[in-house]
Structure 1
């Protein structure tokens, strides 16, 4: 029921915005914007009320071992986005993205990937973007869920078993962030296998730059011994000024130049 309560609470917020102002206001990405400010200029009414609710199965998080389960929680709960009078969520247990009508809760469309959808979705200019453990980045029309483009972020089609699922050897767990119609994401979670960080044209999926060299960096590790390793992209990215902050799972984030993809900082 914990997951249902969170979902219902978020829906209450969107319904109140609609009731107060006579229209819906978008919540286009995790924590609202590319700064992850978790703040919208719109105002909530003092009265919140439930219009509908829906029960879903518990999430199937990727990291559920005692060491990591409290450090990497990026897919433990639903992280809905709101756009065009729809609330849209990704499922890490059913490999799909589903859009529901905000007024009724009725399903409007769904789209299946070839692996779990673990990171929050993003809406931009009438399109929905997400990544999957299948190693791809997807772009759908928010109106009907039809595919606009998909781009393989992994360097090849190789598969392996991960979390009892057949997934890419380089799962795409770089949580998408978009600024000025440029999408930033990444694939691969083990630096020794290579990591691939991208800037992509959000309209057509054209790659603007790709950083694939950080996995071979020889740096001092937290256990005070050097190794060939760097950032392992896992979690939602953040944009701050001209820097792309790449989440690193349970490690500290890395900073990249947003225009060139050059790594500026990692420790």
Structure 2
């Protein structure tokens, strides 16, 4: 066992992630349980090694968005009956991170020898509902849906570039973004496309780390709060970034705001009337949910997550 980011993890020598089932009548999709019994199933690949942050999913509890809720708590009230045993194995292939390893040189801020602060996609994070498990793949550019009891693939939804965050599940809809500059809404049970909306100002693609991406990829995932969907299309601080808010039922635009000198990448945190968005080494920014205007920053330094 190893401890990683405050959670106990299992170390394997194959590129696989595994589910385990508790010795009870309940069907539990899991591999390992964090100390706070959070429902956090993540698939982590490092070269030829696989790391897993694993917990259990009880039938009465869902895990509808990245780290469970819009405050990214990573905590569930569900509990387990131990010990756990392996139920099935799924091979998802190694992820292809947006930013690999520490930065040797930051030309924009003229800094050298910096550690990575954009490590938001080292693994395939998951969401779960309807006895199904979902994950976005940076390897094959698809959203995947698996049966939580058997591990059998139910459907795949392909995009034109990497999907770096799991979908946000609202009812029978699965919302997700892609590095191709679009957001998608799929039927959570069948994978049928319900919405494809361009978040980037153009559909142009450029080469990046062996992939083709939009100059304005959607790397924030989709945050659904009070019936509205929030997401950003952003990459480089010297290019305009775009923050979107649309109605989660009708997909009608509530607002679109432009921001200069920022790079909005990492999951959006929502709390009160504010949005909090990480942006690499720069301090996370805060914005008003109602109009998308910037209200300030958090501290002086950046990082992958808003805490």
| Cα deviation 1:71-105 (Å, max 9, x = unaligned) | 21111101011011100111101000110001111
Q: How far apart are residue 245 of structure 1 and its match?
A: 0.4
Higher helix share goes to which structure? 1
Contact 1:129/1:138 (8 A) holds in 2: yes
Higher strand share goes to which structure? 2
Contact 1:4/1:54 (8 A) holds in 2: no
Partner residue in 1 for 2:92: 56
Contact 1:129/1:140 (8 A) holds in 2: yes
Match of 1:97 among 137, 140, 143: 143
- The alpha-carbon distance between structure 1 residues 254 and 53, as it changes in their structure 2 partners (threshold 3 A), is same
1:252 aligns with 2:294: no
In structure 2, how many angstroms separate the alpha carbons of the residues matched to 1:239 and 1:72?
19
1:237 aligns with 2:268: yes
In structure 1, how many angstroms separate the alpha carbons of the residues matched to 2:135 and 2:13?
16
- The alpha-carbon distance between structure 1 residues 207 and 3, as it changes in their structure 2 partners (threshold 3 A), is farther
Unaligned runs of 5+ in 2: 1-11, 21-28, 34-38, 40-54, 104-113, 301-307
- The alpha-carbon distance between structure 1 residues 151 and 3, as it changes in their structure 2 partners (threshold 3 A), is farther
Q: How far apart are residue 17 of structure 1 and its match?
A: 4.2
Comparing 119-128 with 43-52, greater Cα deviation is found at: 43-52
Comparing 36-45 with 86-95, greater Cα deviation is found at: 36-45
| Aligned-residue RMSD, C-alpha | 2.2
| Large movers: runs of 4+ above 3 Å | 1-10, 12-18
In structure 2, how many angstroms separate the alpha carbons of the residues matched to 1:3 and 1:148?
36
| Cα deviation 1:181-210 (Å, max 9, x = unaligned) | 211110021132210011111223221111
Superposition TM-score, scaled by structure 2 size:
0.75
Unaligned runs of 5+ in 1: 216-228
- The alpha-carbon distance between structure 1 residues 120 and 16, as it changes in their structure 2 partners (threshold 3 A), is closer
In structure 1, how many angstroms separate the alpha carbons of the residues matched to 2:137 and 2:272?
32
Match of 2:184 among 138, 149, 153: 138
Match of 2:61 among 25, 39, 46: 25
- The alpha-carbon distance between structure 1 residues 57 and 109, as it changes in their structure 2 partners (threshold 3 A), is same
Comparing 129-138 with 42-51, greater Cα deviation is found at: 42-51
